[in-house]
């Protein structure tokens, strides 16, 4: 059987944490689709044409070091606005979604474009300030020298670019369950995500 859970939302809202928890709970595979765009963005920063990079992306690209760096995140959201980049990554994501045993995909357009027929759709969000605070804490823990204000400005810039683009903008699918994690601790957010999926089973 195949069962797809689509998880969308802006950066640092908690999609990754919830996706990993849902995949573990249901025994499903998990694809972080942001890594595909980050890998293309990283290759663009190395001087490659992003469309060519997207067309020959392979597993070793998503294992590149440094894909979590802020400059790679910005590059990812730039290449993600190019329709040819998005279409080059489409088949891989759809094939993953149909894998037997179930799949969780997280990104920006999973419930709207990649898997409009997903059995369960979640849209995970939180205020920009809280998301920037979480991302800043993560970066600081890794020893990065970046201010909260810079992280907040970059978070807003990426939100604006992801929401305003013409091809597959970030938005909740009409049938998505919205989970606002601004005031939720991790356990409560995970419990409400599991409950939302069980309602669709």
12 is in an annotated binding site: yes
Residue 147, CA distances (Å) to 85, 109, 144, 151, 154 in order: 31, 30, 9, 6, 11
Of 131, 162, 176, 193, which one interacts with ligand C5P (CB under 6 A)?
162
* Interaction of residue 104 with ligand C5P, rule CB under 6 A: no
Among residues 63 and 198, whose Cβ is nearest to ligand C5P? Answer: 63
Q: Which two tokens stand for residue 170?
A: 């970030």
How far does the chain reach from its first CA to its final CA, in angstroms?
12
What angle (nearest 5°) sits at the alpha carbon of residue 116, between those of residues 114 and 121? 100
Distance, CA of 91 to chain centre: 17
Of 6, 44, 76, 122, which one interacts with ligand C5P (CB under 6 A)?
76
* Interaction of residue 111 with ligand C5P, rule CB under 6 A: no
Q: Which stretch binds ligand C5P (CB under 6 A): 29-37, 118-126, 129-137, 140-148?
A: 29-37
Closest approach, Cβ 170 to ligand C5P, in A, equals 7
Contact 32, 89 (CB under 8 A): no
Q: Which stretch binds ligand C5P (CB under 6 A): 102-110, 123-131, 141-149, 184-192?
A: 102-110
SS3 76: helix
10 is in an annotated binding site: yes
Contact 45, 82 (CB under 8 A): no
Among residues 164 and 198, whose Cβ is nearest to ligand C5P? Answer: 164
Contact residues for ligand C5P (CB under 6 A)?
A: 11, 33-34, 37-38, 73, 76-77, 80, 107-110, 158, 162
Binding residues for ATP: 9-17
């Amino acid at each position: 059987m195949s069962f797809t859970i689509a998880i969308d939302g802006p950066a640092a809202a908690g999609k990754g944490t919830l996706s990993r928890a849902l995949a573990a709970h249901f025994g499903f595979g998990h694809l972080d689709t942001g890594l595909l765009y980050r890998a293309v963005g990283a290759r663009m920063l190395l001087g490659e044409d992003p469309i060519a990079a997207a067309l020959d992306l392979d597993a070793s690209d998503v294992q590149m070091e440094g894909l979590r760096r802020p400059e790679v995140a910005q590059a990812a959201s730039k290449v993600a606005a190019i329709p040819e980049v998005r279409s080059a990554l489409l088949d891989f994501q759809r094939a993953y979604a149909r894998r037997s045993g179930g799949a969780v995909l997280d990104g920006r357009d999973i419930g709207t474009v990649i898997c409009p027929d997903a059995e369960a759709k979640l849209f995970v969000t939180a205020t920009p300030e809280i998301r920037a605070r979480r991302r800043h804490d993560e970066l600081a823990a890794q020893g990065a020298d970046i201010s909260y204000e810079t992280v907040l400005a970059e978070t807003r810039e990426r939100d604006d670019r992801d929401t305003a683009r013409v091809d597959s903008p970030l938005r909740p699918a009409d049938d998505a369950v919205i989970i606002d994690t601004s005031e939720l601790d991790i356990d409560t957010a995970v419990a409400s995500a599991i409950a939302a999926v069980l309602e669709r089973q």
